[in-house]
Structure 1
Amino acid sequence: MAAPGELRRVFASFDQDGDGRVSAAELRLCMEAAIGEDVSTEDVRVAMASVDADGDGMLDEEEFLQLVEASQQQQQQEEEGGRCRWLREAFGMYEMADCRGCITPLSLKLMLAKLGEHRDIAECQAMICRFDLDGDGVLSFDEFKTMMMG
């Protein structure tokens, strides 16, 4: 997240007429310049309405900072969602070998063999054991995620 001083400078650059408020037109122009593509009037209206606490159709500095924070949170959630989809797909490849909803030593062995890595069950058990947080001998999605993100 950007530092407050940096966000104040961004607000000042959006506030092109220097009145201490950002209009929809100012926000649209600056958003288009920032992302390099057209932004619809409706998208700007919706974004402004989501933080325009006093309903004056303008964003003061505090409202602008709320809009930036909300936008950054949404972007972070979208990035995390993308990582989760990728992780779910990878997890699914490993767990589907014996369809138990988790990665077992057998499913790990089978998937590794498909990838050209030949391991025996004991080696697969040892690999799973390192990340098996609850000690049940298999990897749940959360344990797999911890392994992949760590």
Structure 2
Amino acid sequence: MDDEVRKIFNKFDKNGDGKISCEELKKMLLTLDSKTTSKEIKRIMAEIDKNGDGYIDLNEFADFHHHSPGGGGDRTVAADARELRDAFDLYDLDKNGLISATELHAVLRKLGEKGSLSDCRKIISSVDADGDGNVNFEEFKRMMTRA
């Protein structure tokens, strides 16, 4: 399991008990200014919590994180597309259909990351296929579904 997945998991697992509760998931999404409803949070939990114990453990989180949309299992392409759109929308703060370096920087700061705006510009440019200085949904989708 890569360190990046573990770092992201630990940001969600606020009490450090090795699992993400519904409440921890809700708090993290609120930190990101997500307007996710309680019903949507329950749906997300149900999708990721494979053993049905009411928590997301590190292995379930890693499986979800590394899952390639449309790639078998009991997940549907529609569910995968919705999750990708939801993830994109968390970063698209001004809701203009693009993620700018400034938006990426703002979200990462909310998550407690220390990267600079310059770092964010490098990340954006590494994904920005059309060279407009932003990441659109198609570019985001390609980045998120790379094997």
Q: Greater RCO between the two (CA within 8 Å, min separation 6)?
A: 2
More helix by share: 1
TM-score by length of 2: 0.47
